[in-house]
Structure 1
Amino acid sequence: MENEQAEDREAGLSFESWIGEKEKSEGRHAEEMALTLRSAETDNTGQTAADRGTHLHSYLRFLDLGSLINKPEDERLTELARQLDQMIEKLQLAAGARTTIKAEEQNILAYADSKLAERVLAAEKEGRVYREMPFTMAVPASELSQDYPEDELTLVQGMIDLWFTETDNRVVLVDFKSDRLPEDTVAQDKMMRRRYALQLSYYARAIERATGKKVKEKLIWLLKAGRSLDLEN
């Protein structure tokens, strides 16, 4: 068990610098490509969608899920506020995040009550949860656009919100999304698959290359809907 956990930690630390030895040895040029994932529209507080997304991701990164389990609603809300104050005090979260987090309290509690959170907590007890893992990966540029030659490489850089391994030693990949959603769940799923399927496929590939472990589930947690979307199904 300890050896497996050590291997996982080492793999996590390798994401940021990983690039295939084949690409290095052949001296191929890798073009850096930025992918725009969020809108720059602002709300009445002057915050952009990217700002709000950053606030939520940072809060969820440091959130102590276990402290929210089996407590009355008022105590849970008090605990969310306490942790928010603590994160701001420790500079883990910007002071401007307060408005965002207060507005999302019920959505955050819905996540804490979910089966997914239960799985995360179980994996966390075994030291098998990894958050905010950066990676850089060289991929054929033609995967992103047919305008690029097949032998040209590009760098894909990203930050993986959360991944964990379960008792079968396989990986569950989780990405939190706070997108505004249509009312119909079928339309929600279609929109999110269109927007993020490629992104999560690269995240999964980065994990598999770095760890040698199979990613068995690619999940998007829809904060606005309080549910997960499995991109494999």
Structure 2
Amino acid sequence: RMRQAQSRGELFREQKFLLGKKACEVNPNTDSEELVVIQGIIDVCFIENGRYYVVDYKTDKVRKMEQLYDKYSVQLDYYKEAIEQITGKKVEDEIIYSVTLGDEISFTEHRQRRQ
């Protein structure tokens, strides 16, 4: 999918971003509305059928994809929010790829299974 997006010029790697959030949105232990700046680098995002997808590579030594989801879902949600703010378009899915397991987890599918 990423190769196809690259051939269309719709693959973006190492995308830097800044995202402003209220402190109380980042840390539930405070009621402060002071602005906190979150900065990061999105490994990969690509467009497929007019929709954005975010991919993050992880090298953590884990046994289950669930561990990566639990540890990094907030991080990828920030990536999603940043892309949506920058592009004005919805992110269809967030995906973590585990180098260790050679597997991926789709947030959309994972959240549907949990419901």
TM-score (norm. length: structure 2)? 0.89
Q: Secondary structure at the match of 1:162?
A: strand
Does 2:8 correspond to 1:123?
no
* Equivalent position amino acid for 1:136 in 2: L
- Shift in Å, 1:213: 1.4
The aligned counterpart of 1:174 is 55
Aligned match of 2:73: 197
- Kindly indicate whether residue 91 of structure 2 is the aligned counterpart of residue 209 of structure 1: no
**What is the DSSP-based 3-state SS (H/G/I as helix, E as strand, rest coil) of the residue aligned with 1:232?**
helix
For 1:148 and 1:199, locate their aligned partners in 2 and report how far apart those are by CA, in whole Å: 19
Percent of residue pairs identical: 33
CA contact (8 A) 2:65 2:98 kept: no
Partner of 1:11: none
Aligned-pair CA distance for 1:219: 0.2
Q: Which has the higher helix share?
A: 1
Q: Does 1:152 align with 2:34?
A: yes
User: Unaligned 5+ residue runs, structure 2?
Assistant: 110-115
What is the one-letter code of the residue matched to 1:128? Answer: E
Describe how 1:134-145 pairs up with structure 2 within 5 A: 134-145=16-27
Structure 1 residue 218 corresponds to structure 2 residue 94: yes
Residues in 1 aligned to 2:69 and 2:23: alpha-carbon distance in whole angstroms: 21
Q: How does 1:1-233 map to 2 (within 5 A)?
A: 119-167=1-49, 169-182=50-63, 188-233=64-109
Select between 130-139 and 141-150 the one with higher mean Cα deviation.
Answer: 141-150
Deviation at 1:214, TM superposition (A): 1.1
Structure ranking higher in strand proportion: 2
Q: Deviations over 1:144-182 (max 9, x none)?
A: 212322422211111000000012x11010000011012
